[in-house]
Amino acid sequence: MNLNQKLFISLMRFLKIWAKNRLIYSNIAGYLSGSSLAIMSAKICIIYPNASLPIAIKQFFIFYKLWGWPQPILLNELENEFKKAKEIVEPWKWINKEDNSEFENDFETDSNDELEEEKEGNDGTQMSIITSGVPEQNTTFNVNKFTFKRIIKEIERANEIINKTNNEQESIWEELIEELNWENNYEYFILILCKVNENVNCNKQKVLLRTYLYNWEKENEQNNLIKESQLITNYEKNVECFDKNSKRESSLTFCKLWIIGVNLNSSKKINDNQIEQLLTFDNIFKNYLTKSGSVYSIFTTKKIDLNKM
């Protein structure tokens, strides 16, 4: 495997900035990670070893826009030991439809496990970006159907910028990595608050945010009211919040605050009561919390100054 190291490092640096600024860089949130971007970048450097950095960036977005997901991205052919393995650290379930008999037997899983993966919002089927070596692992195992749509949307955005602009213009690169202005990009915000003085691990709750969001979108998928939603991956704040468990009428405590941006389908008629019901997360929390009220949600619009919270 021949790899242009200088090109690889430069491409990786650019793409990491791009993914972070566009809010699709977080493994625990179900987006891309350093490992997945490294494999994706290496693939481009192997195919185009003599490319300049601008050409490599352009080919990156063209290549992955046209890629036949969920077909896996591999730098090497899978090792025989991996193909035959009964237990895999992080399974990926893409099956070549032309020759699936061997894989179907090798990757047979318990139905209860599949239900649990569905509930958790990750089963390794949306994107498969596989590490080299044994055992191979899927670096995008946490990507689900909703976060996958966000990743592809950003790849398509990058392609549009490249296609409409002269590649020699410096402004194209600045526009590609322009930070997503999430405060103006979303109409509604769900604020998730975790009380830090409760017997609850807020770091664990942060990991569960992907699961909460997935199950919420899954529950509301049929009514087609939600156009898009996104956990703001670069936002976390310590704030004063209301203690729902306190017997006092007015009681403040400290909370970790995370934000989810939401846009609703404008074609759907929905009143204020329906919006309030739709944007309430608390029923989702009940399935995961041992103490009621330790994590709760409120919703607001962008008319509220979030920086003052």
Highest mean pLDDT of the ranges 16-25, 83-92, 127-136, 183-192 = 16-25
Mean pLDDT of 95-99: 41
**Residue 306 bridge partners (DSSP):** none
Q: What pLDDT score was predicted for residue 172? A: 86
pLDDT at site 97:
39
SS3 229: strand
Least reliable range by pLDDT among 58-62, 144-148, 211-215, 291-295:
291-295
Reported as type and span, the H/E element at residue 255 is strand 252-264
pLDDT at 91 over 60: no
Distance CA 290, CA 205 (A): 12
**CA angle centred on 12, ends 151 and 133, rounded to 5°:** 90
Q: Buried (b) or exposed (e) across 154-163, using 16+ Cβ within 10 A?
A: bbebbbebbe
CA distance to 17, 24, 61, 151, 204, per residue, from 161 (Å): 16, 18, 10, 16, 38
CB atoms within 10 A of CB 130: 22
pLDDT score of 284: 73
Range scoring the smallest mean pLDDT among 21-30, 84-93, 112-121: 84-93
The pLDDT score that the predictor gives to residue 94 is: 45
Region 124-147 average pLDDT:
87
pLDDT at 104: 37
Which residue has 């008999």 as its token pair? 101
User: Would you tell me how many other CB atoms lie within 10 Å of the CB of residue 39?
Assistant: 19
The lowest-confidence range among 239-248, 266-275, 279-288 is 239-248
If you count them, how many residues does the chain have?
309
The pTM (predicted TM-score) of the whole model is: 0.81
Q: What is the pLDDT of residue 275?
A: 86
Specify the pLDDT at position 119.
Answer: 56
In this structure, the number of other CB atoms found within 10 A of the CB of residue 199 comes to: 8
pLDDT at 110: 45
152 pLDDT more than 90: yes
What gap in Å lies between CA 23 and CA 205, rounded to an integer? 19
Domains and CATH numbers, the chain: 1-180 (1.10.1410.10), 182-308 (3.30.70)
Across 214-232, average pLDDT = 88
Average pLDDT over residues 283-300: 70
Average pLDDT, whole number, for the chain?
79
Over residues 25-32, mean pLDDT: 94
Which amino acid does the sequence have at 177?
Answer: I
